Structure 1
Amino acid sequence: MDPMQEQIKTLFTEGIQTQIAAADQLQEPLQRAAELLVATLLSGQKIYCCGEGMAHATSRHFAHIMLTGLSFERPPFPVTSLHADFGANDHQAVFAQQLQAVGQANDVVLVLSAGARAPRTARALEAALGRNMLIVAITQEGDHDIAGLLGPDDVEIRIPTTNIARASEHLLQTVNMLCSLVEHQIFPQEMDE
């Protein structure tokens, strides 16, 4: 087999293996996260999201589909992706400053990280904790910055890989799944159609 074709096959195999492991390990945390997001929305609270590095685009995607709908037409959910202002005086605190300005007790912050280090999102979590916010964290097995900040009422969805590319793929899948689960819990009648 051609060396590049072998590499392509290996990449597909890695993706499939991560999918299988995730299907086995992530059902319970996905359910807990969806239940927390539903309870937050039904109680009139807001959801904020942010992502470290490449995961910031996935954060923006999550906010977009929660506002506009994923599976069917529905009213928008109050979800905001925190902006990554690279011109900020303190770039590491950009997410934390936004949560300090707008976060309220019992709001939720969803943080995403595909890598081992997440200094901006870790500071956002510290700000969220200071405002008595709840946390849903989507991380990967090599995470060093986020898991240690989570409390008993928070939820971690830990993607079973240390490969940044596989984790990035699963971040997108996971936020799509969360949106779908939330939509169908809040609008169960849409499941029949």
Structure 2
Amino acid sequence: MQDQIKALFTQSIQTQIATAEVLGDAIVNAAELLTQSVLSGRRVFACGEGQASVVTQEFAHLMLHGQKLERPPFPVIGLPCVGSSDGACDTYARHILALGQAQDVLLVASTDATAAQVSKAMEAALSRGMLIVALTGDSDTDVAGLLGPDDVEIRIPSYEPNRISEQLLFVVHSLCDLIEQQVFPQEVSE
């Protein structure tokens, strides 16, 4: 069993190293887009599918309550998904259609190859003129195809959902750190 535990740590570390090597620019671009949104009074909506829904709820929580600073809340809405009677979940899309405005940002996350709920939310966001930050993995086949030239994709270099989830959580914490540093540079001590 000790060898299995060491193998899991090794897989996680290797994924983190690969992520750090290829995603620095994408993380900076996403942080800048989200910071511009916050500073211009635009809202950020966050939703995820499967394991990734926990990651987007963590992002919304940190943006509302602060990660390192006691500060005013940022206008971020973590979207809940409550299935409809036919089993399909279009709640994310319905929230976006009801509340989303041009230049708002939709942050989506998915660890799986297909993400029907997130894809519907992205289509709704596109219809409203919103920008998108997508947190994905290498197995993604739905989300990446909906992104435009002004959107940002942070694609974790892994096909393993658990390794992707671990890195997405790290990315979300990094984004919140970077946003707080940009909005309140005088408050953040290095």
Q: TM-score range by the shorter chain?
A: over 0.9
Would you say 1:9 and 2:6 are equivalent positions? yes
Structure-2-length-normalised TM-score:
0.97
Displaced runs of 4 or more, over 2 A: 86-92
Aligned counterparts of 1:166 and 1:42: Cα–Cα separation in 2: 33
Quote the residue 1:134 is aligned against: 131
Query: Does the CA-based 8 Å contact 2:81-2:89 persist in structure 1?
Result: no
Deviation of residue 88 (structure 1)? 5.5
Quote the residue 1:76 is aligned against: 73
Deviation of residue 87 (structure 1)? 4.4
Quote the RMSD (CA, aligned, Å).
1.2
Query: Does the CA-based 8 Å contact 2:69-2:188 persist in structure 1?
Result: no
Secondary structure at the aligned position of 1:188 is classed as coil
Secondary structure at the aligned position of 2:174 is classed as helix
Q: Deviations over 1:21-74 (max 9, x none)?
A: 011111000000000001111111000000001111111111011000001111
Q: Greater helix share, 1 or 2?
A: 1
Aligned counterparts of 1:171 and 1:26: Cα–Cα separation in 2: 12
Structure-1-length-normalised TM-score:
0.95
Q: Structure 2 unaligned runs (5+)?
A: none
State the AA in 2 paired with 1:119.
A
Quote the residue 2:51 is aligned against: 54
Deviation of residue 89 (structure 1)? 5.4
Aligned partner of 2:179 among 166, 177, 182: 182
Secondary structure at the aligned position of 1:48 is classed as strand
Quote the residue 1:119 is aligned against: 116
Quote the residue 1:37 is aligned against: 34
Deviation of residue 91 (structure 1)? 2.8
- Number of residues paired by the alignment? 190
Deviation of residue 122 (structure 1)? 0.5
State the AA in 2 paired with 1:11.
L
Would you say 1:157 and 2:136 are equivalent positions? no
State the AA in 2 paired with 1:69.
G
Percent identity, aligned pairs only?
52
